[in-house]
């Protein structure tokens, strides 16, 4: 491996600044973690105990590819295996957030069994390879100190537990709220809106209500408190984590009424032969263009994501607005062992760059790039439902991948007819000829196929500009 001892010619990851023990930077397409002199002792202790190797071999920790001496403020430089996608908890559907919470608790319990612990409980330290969670922050693992209090309790509640309770208890998806606050759902906010009967349960009382009271009390001058003065026996610590795990494992979404798109893959307007033609078109696209990573916009339950994987794609990241469809996509991905990561996306308002200096968390188009794109039965939801002009919509779609398949849904289609039933038709340019003109001005149309009686048409493209 080429030696990398200096970060002078590298790009530091903007969101990596909170931990004095180290930071992350990129050098070309390679990813590195610098271990500072502040964090090197804990890192060495964890390494000597074989924790990194144990967790990496187990598939629970991103592997360290190489370790070299550093320079300047970096005592060591670690090369880290790069993940195909980075996603944030406000993009995860309920089931992914739940799995991430259970994974985090299980990891912490495993570490405590070996005399180690986690220095924080941020959800951003968990990522996914397909639907499988993996931990990415080596430096948050450190030796356990006898009697130490769980300083990450509030952070765990606000970034894992509270967003889950929002949907499990109130039938409200967490995504928009979480994205707006970025650090999760504050305990003080959730305590205000939980119904009284929910507050009286032991779990909610200890993790939400009393924590809110404690937080309010410690902010006053009369009730100063420091966790350094409090001791928590290890047995009580592990019992606390296990109780949280048991509670979270039982949580399910409270919104039982099916959404409009939850069963779309089963009750859409395609007959069997039309669906078969659509499947065959996707298969041919993947086999001819050979994309390894694919974005599936409007993935629904993952039917065409699965087809792309079966045809040769290595991994798919799917996006949808319907949270119930995303939960089903996750269930399908795990049941069928698919490398599919289903994420929440409001395409009218994609995830922006945000956080400290507007660079801490990168937006949708900064992170989400792939070799291929599927946008099937997608464009009309923006063009008709939200008045996005085709000459803006098509370039936006093409910016995500150099090749792909787009589907145009004409006004003659029953779905668009229903969309126009209660509003004026203010879309004189929404015609197949205009769609093809705009597409051809940015990409080569390699082939097309009408796949429904209503005129739905698939276009395989290769971007030229």
pLDDT tens for each residue of 228-240: 567 889 999 999 9
Ramachandran angles phi, psi of 358, nearest 5°:
70, 15
pLDDT digits (tens, 9 = 90+) for 180-197: 998 999 999 999 999 998
- Comparing 84-98, 127-141, 188-202, the range with the smallest average pLDDT is 188-202
Find the Cα–Cα–Cα–Cα dihedral 316, 318, 323, 328, rounded to 10°.
-40
Cα(421)–Cα(158) distance, integer angstroms: 43
Q: What pLDDT score does 269 carry? A: 61
Residues 30, 65 within the same domain: yes
H or E element: which one contains 142? strand 141-143
Note the residue count of the chain.
Answer: 465
Checking if the pLDDT of 384 tops 60, the result is yes
Domain count, the chain: 3
Kindly give the pairing relationship between strand 340-344 and strand 315-320: parallel
Cα(203)–Cα(190) distance, integer angstroms: 14
CB 357 within 8 A of CB 367: no
Residues 200, 314 within the same domain: no
Q: Which among 250, 213, 238 is positioned nearest to 144, based on CA atoms?
A: 238
Q: Can you give the residue range of the structural domain that contains 66?
A: 11-80
Question: Which percentage of the chain shows pLDDT scores above 90?
Answer: 80
- Decide if 85 is inside a domain: no
Residue at a domain's end among 223, 250, 277: 250
More confident residue, 465 or 188: 188
Mean pLDDT of 141-168: 96
* Strand-by-strand arrangement of the 315-320 sheet: 340-344, 315-320, 293-297, 372-375, 403-408, 457-463, 443-450
- Extended beta strands in 169-224, E state: none
CB 416 within 8 A of CB 380: yes
Checking if the pLDDT of 329 tops 50, the result is yes
Give the confidence band of 210 by pLDDT, cuts at 50, 70, 90. confident
- Decide if 442 is inside a domain: yes
Residues 75, 98 within the same domain: no
Give the confidence band of 301 by pLDDT, cuts at 50, 70, 90. very high
Question: What tokens does 412 get?
Answer: 């003659």
The vertex-217 CA angle with 216 and 221, nearest 5°, equals: 115
Q: What pLDDT score does 2 carry? A: 35
Q: For the chain, first and last CA: distance in Å?
A: 35
Ramachandran angles phi, psi of 35, nearest 5°:
-105, 120
- Decide if 388 is inside a domain: yes
Residue at a domain's end among 191, 219, 250: 250
Residues 49, 137 within the same domain: no
Q: Which among 304, 295, 450, 456 is positioned nearest to 380, based on CA atoms?
A: 456
Residues 310, 396 within the same domain: yes
- Decide if 5 is inside a domain: no
Residue at a domain's end among 36, 57, 80: 80
- Decide if 149 is inside a domain: yes
Mean pLDDT of the chain: 91
Residues 308, 437 within the same domain: yes
Q: What pLDDT score does 143 carry? A: 98
Cα(122)–Cα(158) distance, integer angstroms: 9
Q: What pLDDT score does 244 carry? A: 97
DSSP 160: I
* Burial zone of 230 (CB within 10 Å; 0-12 exposed, 13-18 middle, 19+ buried): exposed
Checking if the pLDDT of 263 tops 80, the result is no
Neighbours of 270 (CB within 10 A): 17
Give the confidence band of 465 by pLDDT, cuts at 50, 70, 90. confident
Q: Which among 104, 106, 134, 98 is positioned nearest to 122, based on CA atoms?
A: 104
Cα(25)–Cα(33) distance, integer angstroms: 6
Kindly give the pairing relationship between strand 403-408 and strand 372-375: parallel
Q: What pLDDT score does 336 carry? A: 95
Residues 427, 315 within the same domain: yes
* Burial zone of 9 (CB within 10 Å; 0-12 exposed, 13-18 middle, 19+ buried): exposed
Give the confidence band of 214 by pLDDT, cuts at 50, 70, 90. confident
* Burial zone of 374 (CB within 10 Å; 0-12 exposed, 13-18 middle, 19+ buried): buried
Checking if the pLDDT of 5 tops 60, the result is no
Question: What tokens does 126 get?
Answer: 């968990």
Give the confidence band of 259 by pLDDT, cuts at 50, 70, 90. low
- Comparing 47-61, 188-202, 249-263, 276-290, the range with the smallest average pLDDT is 249-263
- Decide if 128 is inside a domain: yes
CB 175 within 8 A of CB 323: yes
Q: What pLDDT score does 225 carry? A: 52
More confident residue, 80 or 224: 80
Q: Which among 445, 426, 424 is positioned nearest to 435, based on CA atoms?
A: 445
Residues 380, 304 within the same domain: yes
Task: Give this prediction's pTM.
Answer: 0.91
Mean pLDDT of 134-150: 96
Q: Which among 320, 301, 239, 311 is positioned nearest to 280, based on CA atoms?
A: 311
Cα-based distances in Å from 105 to 120, 203, 231: 12, 16, 20
Residues 269, 416 within the same domain: yes
Q: Which among 238, 214, 293, 257 is positioned nearest to 108, based on CA atoms?
A: 238
CATH of the domain at 347: 3.40.50.150
Residues 107, 72 within the same domain: no
Checking if the pLDDT of 218 tops 80, the result is no
Cα(90)–Cα(106) distance, integer angstroms: 22
Cα(295)–Cα(370) distance, integer angstroms: 6
DSSP 337: T
**Displacement of CA 113 from its chain's centroid (Å):** 29
- Decide if 326 is inside a domain: yes
Mean pLDDT of 208-214: 85
* Longest Cα separation, the chain: 74
Checking if the pLDDT of 220 tops 60, the result is no
Which of 1-15, 193-207, 344-358, 397-411 has the largest mean confidence? 397-411
* Strand-by-strand arrangement of the 11-12 sheet: 11-12, 22-27, 30-36, 74-80, 64-69
Neighbours of 382 (CB within 10 A): 21
Residues 67, 99 within the same domain: no
pLDDT digits (tens, 9 = 90+) for 424-443: 999 999 999 999 999 999 99
CB 121 within 8 A of CB 104: yes
- Decide if 304 is inside a domain: yes
CATH of the domain at 47: 3.30.200
Residues 210, 305 within the same domain: no
């Amino acid at each position: 491996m080429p030696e990398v001892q200096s970060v002078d010619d590298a790009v530091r990851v903007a969101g990596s600044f909170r931990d004095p023990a180290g930071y992350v930077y990129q050098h070309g397409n390679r990813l590195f973690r610098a271990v500072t002199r502040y964090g090197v002792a804990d890192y060495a202790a964890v390494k000597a105990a074989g924790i990194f190797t144990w967790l990496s071999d187990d598939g629970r920790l991103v592997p360290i590819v190489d370790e070299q001496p550093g320079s300047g403020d970096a005592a060591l430089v670690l090369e880290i295996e790069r993940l195909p996608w980075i996603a944030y908890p406000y993009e995860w559907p309920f089931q992914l957030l739940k799995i991430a919470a259970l994974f985090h608790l299980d990891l912490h319990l495993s570490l405590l069994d070996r005399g180690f612990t986690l220095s924080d409980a941020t959800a951003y330290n968990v990522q996914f390879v397909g639907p499988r969670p993996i931990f990415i922050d080596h430096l948050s693992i450190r030796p356990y100190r006898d009697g130490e209090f769980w300083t990450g309790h509030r952070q765990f509640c606000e970034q894992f537990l509270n967003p889950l309770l929002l949907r499990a208890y109130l039938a409200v998806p967490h995504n928009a709220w979480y994205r707006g606050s970025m650090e999760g759902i504050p305990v003080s906010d959730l305590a205000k809106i939980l119904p009284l009967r929910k507050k009286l349960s032991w779990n909610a009382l200890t993790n939400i209500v009393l924590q809110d009271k404690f937080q309010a009390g410690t902010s006053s001058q009369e009730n100063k408190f420091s966790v350094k003065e409090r001791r928590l026996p290890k047995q009580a610590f592990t019992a606390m984590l296990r109780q949280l795990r048991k509670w979270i494992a039982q949580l399910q979404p409270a919104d039982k009424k099916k959404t409009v798109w939850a069963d779309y893959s089963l009750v859409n307007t395609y007959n069997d032969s039309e669906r078969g033609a659509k499947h065959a078109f996707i298969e041919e696209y993947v086999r001819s263009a050979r994309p390894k990573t694919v974005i599936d916009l409007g993935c629904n339950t993952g039917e065409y994501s699965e087809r792309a994987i079966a045809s040769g794609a290595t991994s798919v990241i799917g996006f949808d607005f319907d949270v119930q469809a995303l939960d089903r996509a996750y269930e399908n991905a795990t049941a069928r062992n698919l490398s599919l990561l289903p994420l929440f996306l409001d395409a009218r308002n994609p995830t922006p760059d945000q956080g400290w200096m507007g660079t801490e968390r990168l937006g949708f188009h900064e992170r989400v790039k792939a070799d291929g794109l599927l946008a099937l039965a997608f464009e009309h939801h923006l063009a008709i439902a939200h008045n996005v002009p085709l000459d803006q919509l098509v370039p936006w779609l093409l910016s995500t991948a150099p090749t792909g398949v787009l589907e145009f849904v004409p006004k003659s289609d029953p779905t668009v007819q229903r969309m126009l039933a209660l509003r004026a038709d203010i879309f004189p340019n929404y015609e197949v000829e205009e769609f093809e003109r705009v597409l051809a001005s940015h990409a080569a149309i390699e082939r097309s196929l009408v796949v429904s009686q209503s005129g739905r048409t698939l276009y395989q493209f290769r971007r030229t500009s």
